[in-house]
Amino acid sequence: MKGKVWQQRLSRPLHPAIHALNRSLDYDRRLWPYDLQVSRVWVQALERAGLLSAGELLAISGGLESIREELAAGKFAFSDDDEDIHMAIERRLEELIGSAANKLHTGRSRNDQVATDLHLFCRESGEQVSAALREVIAVLVVLAEAQASQPFPGHTHLQQAEVLSLGHILLAHATALRSDTGLLERTASDAMAACPLGAGALGGSPVAVDRHWIATELGFAAPAPNSIEAVSSRDCALDLLYALSRLGVHLSRLAEDVILWSSIEFGYATLDDATATGSSLLAHKKNPDVFELARGKSGRLIGHLTGLLTTIKGLPGGYNKDLQEDKEPLFDSVDTALGLLAALKPALEGLTFHSARIVAALSPQLKAQRLVAYLVGKGLAFRQAYGVAGALVSRAEKEGVALEALDLDVFQEESELFGADVLELLHQPWVVPDEGVYGGSSVKSVQEQIKELQGWLG
Ligand code: ARG
């Protein structure tokens, strides 16, 4: 086998610029463990179908094992002529075991081969990202435990809305990320639903291999039911890119919170020095680059998803070389997510919260909620109580004072239900209530959420 395997079909060698464009080896070499796994099972299937002798099977399997050792040790010599990892392995096999190697590709196409490799990659990567994500969630749960009773401004429209538990807010992020682990794991398992191997170039392998046996041997639930779809589909890559995009969006929202909290204006939190960066010009600066990159890289993750969707959307049936463009975005998204999670773990661990600053930032007008509860407690309907509290906030605002600085007669002008105890109520410090509805911001509910997450983390 000299030069390219398909060279005999064409009268002239491939133009070097086209070879360079066509070649995917630089990035698809990382598929080698899956490619070898696929080939090991393929030759066994050929032997079972009577297409390889026991001796040939032994020779090829032995050669594949030597190749595995060379690749694992970084000692595999790639050639400039190798078009992709599949061709490189086949070329090396011939060098190692001679002509028996020429039977490896019997009844197989790189179309079903690469699709199968990719499914195995998606399974492993989905599980790997999910495991790394669990470690980040565990850090959020530890932070939430320490901050369960820390009052914190909860926003809607970025306006202060309610006093919440800071632990509750941290758990909101943990809960979204937990759901991402579920999506990643489902994506990993979906990738193993239907095995492309044996689909051949597109119409099904021309040799009578047992596709059910192959699927089981490779850990799939079943063989892909339609050979054309099996080689045309990149659903496993799209699904993983979506799961990674959603994870990126959730990490970005978490990052945005931390970026705001660590600004001088907010001052709610500081980053550990080992996780912050400085400025080349401004001596005072301490920057949350890690969180900004988490926010920024979500754009890249979404871009890879939309990029591959766009690549695939107009393709005619069967394999098209466009599909080779699946790998770089997919690999980059997996690496990006793993890199982010590895960096966010210490960055979150290193956060220090500043209770006094947080409490000082709570608007006194948030106590209007206490007025509503007070009046409702005295039998006033909620809507009316809201009206009274709103009028009092408006009066305090006009006078430029806090709600609790208004005189008792002002309260009583708005409603005769107010007694002197209303001022006492307003002067009580901010606390996270002990009890409250399931899933809400009370200390009890936050602790329940923590327990639940701890149980899940194991
Ligand atoms: N390197 C190719 C890819 O990743 C392998 C499949 C090539 N198939 C073909 N018919 N040329 O898509």
Looking at the predicted structure, is the pLDDT value of residue 4 above 80?
no
Pocket of ligand 1 (CB under 6 A): 24, 28, 84, 110-111, 114, 319, 323-324
Residue nearest (by alpha carbon) to ligand 1 atom 4 = 324
pLDDT value of position 3: 65
Q: What mean pLDDT comes out for the span 367-374? A: 96
Closest CA to 297 of 249, 256, 345, 259: 249
Residue nearest (by alpha carbon) to ligand 1 atom 10 = 111
Query: To 10 degrees, the CA torsion angle through 228, 231, 232, 234?
Result: 140
> Strand, coil or helix: what is 419?
coil
pLDDT value of position 53: 97
Q: Name the CATH superfamily for 111-360.
A: Fumarase/aspartase (Central domain) (1.20.200.10)
At 239, phi and psi to the nearest 5? -60, -45
Q: 218 with 120: CB under 8 angstroms?
A: yes
Q: What mean pLDDT comes out for the span 35-43? A: 98
Report d(CA 426, CA 202) in Å as an integer: 74
Domains of the chain, residue spans: 7-106, 111-360, 363-457
Question: Which CATH fold would you assign to the domain 7-106?
Answer: Fumarase C; Chain B, domain 1 (1.10.275)
pLDDT value of position 141: 98
Give the per-residue SS3 of 2-16: CCCCCHHHCCCCCCH
Chain CA centroid to CA 35, Å: 25
Q: What mean pLDDT comes out for the span 172-192? A: 98
Q: What ligand 1 atom has the least distance to the C-alpha of 24?
A: 1
Place of tokens 């948030």: 366
pLDDT tens figures, 118-132: 999 999 999 999 999
Q: What ligand 1 atom has the least distance to the C-alpha of 110?
A: 6
> Strand, coil or helix: what is 49?
coil
> Strand, coil or helix: what is 65?
helix
- Model confidence band, residue 8 (pLDDT cutoffs 50, 70, 90): confident
Chain CA centroid to CA 420, Å: 54
219 φ/ψ sector (left φ>0, alpha ψ -120 to 50, else beta)? left
Question: Which CATH fold would you assign to the domain 363-457?
Answer: Ribonucleotide Reductase Protein R1; domain 1 (1.10.40)
Tokens matching residue 218:
């490779």
Neighbours of 15 (CB within 10 A): 10
Report d(CA 308, CA 330) in Å as an integer: 9
Query: CA dist 396 to 294, 404, 405, 429, Å?
Result: 41, 9, 8, 19
Q: What mean pLDDT comes out for the span 425-431? A: 95
> Strand, coil or helix: what is 326?
helix
Report d(CA 414, CA 247) in Å as an integer: 49
Instruction: Judge whether 157 counts as a catalytic residue.
Output: yes
Q: What is the percentage of the chain residues whose pLDDT exceeds 70?
A: 99
pLDDT tens figures, 308-331: 999 999 999 999 999 999 999 999
Q: How far is the CA of 331 from the centre of ligand 1 (A)?
A: 17
pLDDT value of position 427: 95
pLDDT value of position 2: 52
Residue 49 identity: A
pLDDT tens figures, 208-255: 999 999 999 999 999 999 999 999 999 999 999 999 999 999 999 999
pLDDT value of position 283: 84
At 400, phi and psi to the nearest 5? 70, 35
Q: Are strands 222-223 and 352-353 parallel, antiparallel or unpaired?
A: unpaired
Q: How far is the CA of 209 from the centre of ligand 1 (A)?
A: 22
Q: What is the percentage of the chain residues whose pLDDT exceeds 90?
A: 96
Instruction: Judge whether 233 counts as a catalytic residue.
Output: no
Confidence (pTM): 0.95
Report d(CA 113, CA 195) in Å as an integer: 10
pLDDT value of position 10: 87
Q: Give percent helix, percent strand, percent coil of the chain, each to the nearest 5.
A: 65, 5, 30
Mean pLDDT of the chain: 96
Q: 272 with 350: CB under 8 angstroms?
A: yes
> Strand, coil or helix: what is 269?
strand
Point out the catalytic residue in the list 99, 179, 263, 279: 279
